[in-house]
Structure 1
Amino acid sequence: MAAVFAASGAAAQEGWYGAVDLGYHWPDSLEATSSNNAANGAPYQWDFNQEDDWAGFARLGYQLNDNWRIELEVGYRSGDIESVRGGSNQAVVGLCTPGVTRTAAAPACGSPDGDVSAWTVMGNVIYDILPGSALNPFVGAGVGVNHVKMDVLGQFSNVPGTVTAANAQQNLTIDDSDTAFAYQLIAGLAWKATDQLSVDLTYRYLGGSDLDFTSTGSLASGLQPGVFSGDYRDQSVTLGLRYL
């Protein structure tokens, strides 16, 4: 290890670079609150849970000097909806598989349909800690915008009051997108393969302001939560190539 970190070539070059990163991301639950109240007089408070999935990033940057670089980054994250659930204090606990008639003999709820995708555009500032070494740790931060598209279709898991043939199956549809301020924290390790080519192992933590998604209940006189508001948070690890 001492030999690796002691091995140093010429000082880091200045100039433009391009990079691509591919990897894995695990989104946090999107904790959302509705604009309309449920039957108990309180808003719906549901967690929209996504499955872990792949993530990709493209970066265009400029190496200012040995330690500092700046870059413009475009990122994409996707994930199927795993569940939509609230606490036991909710008038309606969450969403189930649409179009399924549940009975005492077949009470299984199942998962709603849909997915959530996020496009980010970020301006990053990166600090290279050991720019002259073959292995170079780096840290950074970025600010920008996050455009999130939510597509969800599910059946209300329980309908308060008397269940009739007309309201036994009420579905909720969310097909909306919103854009909000976003920030990210970055840490990683770069391996200098050549003077111009580096391999980056990068961790990103993404957060930001609340996003709004309009929902529509299938029964006009039935359950209508209105607009759900919550913030999108995500963690990702990627492996990428950066060419100076």
Structure 2
Amino acid sequence: MKLKLLAGAALAAVFAASGASAQETGWYGAVDLGYHWPSPTNSESDGNAPDGAHYHWTWKSESDWTGFVRLGYQFTPNWRAELEGGYRPGDLESVRGNPVRQQPIGLCTPGVTRTTAAPKCGSPEGSIESWSLMFNVLYDFAPDAKFNPFLGAGLGVNRLDVQALGQFSGVPGAYTTANPSIQNLTVDDDDIAIAWQGIAGMSWKATDKLKLDVTSYNNFYEFGVDKSDPA
């Protein structure tokens, strides 16, 4: 079975502290460390379920740390542009299907036999990692003040690496040699897609050469990942 991830609804909100060279015009650099909360990623398979429709899945990864490096140029006291590289890791938390349709309703911990006494599914193994390269344009509302709010937007590319191993929960149909009750799915693929983001934050002028800021990034992207193997 092949999967195609359509992560158009993915959201990563990051609150980071950064250091940058503060000046009216000219180059500046920054390093950001923070935390991100990824929203679920929706997927659709190339193959059909027993009811004739595509399989649909929702992938959820755990919140984790994140990091960015930025190189920018201040064109005017208010306007600046920057090139930003980012990394957002996350262990796989869950993979869920549509329980009202005749399809596996999710992926569980591989190799675990559930019983009435131990019915919990458990989480599949794997991770979802995101690498981004963005071109941002930002506007500083109060560049000469001690506290300066700013807004911006970015456009670029995002690479998504997906690793997953899980046991199907709720295999549909009668159990046969061709359709055993225990079936695993392995996903190992990556894809690169166009990404865009909104940026909002507040910077504090610590010295004439250093600013510290708290920034929120809302990052959106759409992916196709289509390499998987049932076992």
TM superposition shift of 1:104: 3.8
The Cα shift of 1:165 comes to 6.6
Runs (4+) of structure 1 exceeding 4 A deviation are none
Taking a change above 3 Å as real, the CA distance of residues 193 and 105 of structure 1, as seen in their structure-2 partners, is closer
Identity of aligned residues (%): 54
Distance 1:194 1:13 in 2: 14
AA partner of residue 24 (structure 2): Q
1:38 aligned residue: 49
1:52 is matched with which residue? 63
State the shift of 1:105 in Å.
Answer: 4.1
SS in 1 for 2:224: strand
Look up the match of 1:224. Answer: none
Q: Calculate the TM-score normalised by the size of structure 2.
A: 0.86
**Does residue 1:26 correspond to 2:37, yes or no?**
yes
Which of residues 185, 202, 205 in structure 2 aligns to 1:172? 185
Which residue, out of 50, 66, 73, partners 2:77? Answer: 66
- The residue type equivalent to 1:89 in the other structure is V
Cα distance change on mapping 1:109 and 1:165 into 2, 3 Å: farther
**Greater CA drift, 19-28 or 40-49:** 40-49
Return the match for 1:123 from 111, 135, 138. 135
Aligned partners of 1:45, 1:162: CA distance in 2, in Å? 21
Tell me, what secondary structure is at the counterpart of 2:199? strand
> How far apart are the structure 2 equivalents of 1:157 and 1:15?
57
Contact kept in structure 2, 1:150 and 1:213, CA below 8 Å = no
- Aligned 1:9-24 pairs, distance under 5 A: 12-24=23-35
Contact 2:23 2:209 in 1 (8 A): no
Q: Which runs of 5+ in 2 are unaligned?
A: 1-21
SS at match of 1:193: strand
Alpha-carbon RMSD across the aligned residues, in angstroms, is 1.5
* Contact 1:178/1:213, CA 8 A, preserved across alignment: no
Report Cα offsets for 1:140-191 as digits up to 9, x if no partner. 0000000000000000102222224772211000100000000010000000
Code of the residue aligned with 2:77 in structure 1: it is: D
Letter in 2 for 1:80: D
Structure 1, unmatched stretches of 5+, are 1-10, 219-244
Count of residues in Structure 1 that have an aligned counterpart in Structure 2: 208
Distance of 1:92 and 1:41 partners within structure 2: 14
1:58-107 alpha-carbon deviations (Å, 9 max, x no partner): 00001111000110000000111111012222321111110112234433
Equivalent position amino acid for 2:225 in 1: D
Cα deviation digits, residues 20-60 of structure 1 (max 9, x gap): 11111000100111111112211111110111111100000
Of 79, 89, 92, the residue aligned with 1:81 is: 92
Contact 1:95 1:155 in 2 (8 A): yes
Deviates more, 1:100-109 or 1:26-35: 100-109
- SS of 1:79's partner is coil
User: Within 2, Cα distance between the matches of 1:213 and 1:26?
Assistant: 25
CA–CA distance in structure 1, aligned partners of residues 200 and 117 of structure 2: 52
Larger Rg: 1
Secondary structure of residue in 2 paired with 1:89: coil
Aligned runs of 1:122-141 on 2, under 5 Å? 122-141=134-153
User: What is the aligned counterpart of 1:202 among 208, 215, 230?
Assistant: 215
**1:91-130 correspondence to structure 2 within 5 Å:** 91-130=103-142
1:239 counterpart residue number: none
CA contact 1:12–1:131 (8 Å) conserved in 2: no
